[in-house]
Copies of this chain bind each other. A is one copy, B any other.
Amino acid sequence: MARNSQAPRIAKSRAGIRPLPGRARSESDNAHSDLMNGEIGLDALAGHAGYAVRRFQIWVFQDFIRTLGSVDIRPTQYSVMTVIGANPGLSQMAVAKRLGIERARLVHLLDSLEQRELVRRVKSANDRRSHALHLTARGRTALAQFKRLAAEHERHVAEKIGKENREKLLQILSDFT
């Protein structure tokens, strides 16, 4: 979770900003006023993958945080626990590299998870610099529930963009997983 953010309080009045009715446009459309209709013309951003991905990512993370709100787990915490659960004994360096987060950042994440007794740092015998990361017993049962809630979250995503679209998306971005 590299989340960018948020504590999505409650999606108040602004549940969703509706885009415009789409006209087919070429990506090389030049900027020009588009105010003939009452709406704000933003076709200028239509061809930009990064913008759409960013907006979508914010939506997804907010839903994740809301759906896992009852257990107070954020996307990054979830990813850390998932990787440790699947690969017990990993070092902090290995986990950080795997998830693409700074090892400096992982320190705080683990501090929090260890405080909640979901994860344990065990001194490594081979390399006394590093810690072997493990889930606690509580961590394992907790992760099982987190996964159930995460699955529910994934269903929300499927509802939002369509089941097939979600699968296509996962396929397109599989290299980044």
Residues of A within 8 A of B (CB): 1-3, 6, 8, 10-12, 14-15, 17-19, 22, 27-35, 40-61, 64, 75, 79, 82-83, 85-88, 90, 94, 97-98, 100, 135, 140, 143-144, 147-148, 150-151, 153-154, 157, 161-162, 165-166, 168-170, 172-177
A151 touches B88 (CB 8 A): no
In the bound complex, residues from chain B placing their C-beta under 8 Å from that of A34 are 86-87
A177 touches B50 (CB 8 A): no
CA distance A32 to B18 in the complex (A): 42
Which of B50, B75, B135 is A61 in contact with, Cβ under 8 Å? B50
- In the assembly, how many copies of this chain are there? 2
- Of the candidates A15, A27, A51, A161, the one having the most CB atoms from chain B within 10 angstroms of its own CB is A51
Given contacts A28-B148, A50-B153, 14 further A-B contacts (CB under 8 A): A6-B100, A17-B98, A19-B175, A28-B147, A29-B147, A31-B82, A34-B86, A40-B87, A43-B86, A53-B56, A53-B60, A55-B173, A55-B177, A58-B100
A83 touches B140 (CB 8 A): no
Closest B residue, CB atoms, query A12: B175
In the bound complex, residues from chain B placing their C-beta under 8 Å from that of A100 are 6, 8, 17, 55, 58
> Shortest CB–CB separation between residue A3 and chain B, in angstroms?
7
In the bound complex, residues from chain B placing their C-beta under 8 Å from that of A166 are 49
In the bound complex, residues from chain B placing their C-beta under 8 Å from that of A98 are 10, 17, 40, 42
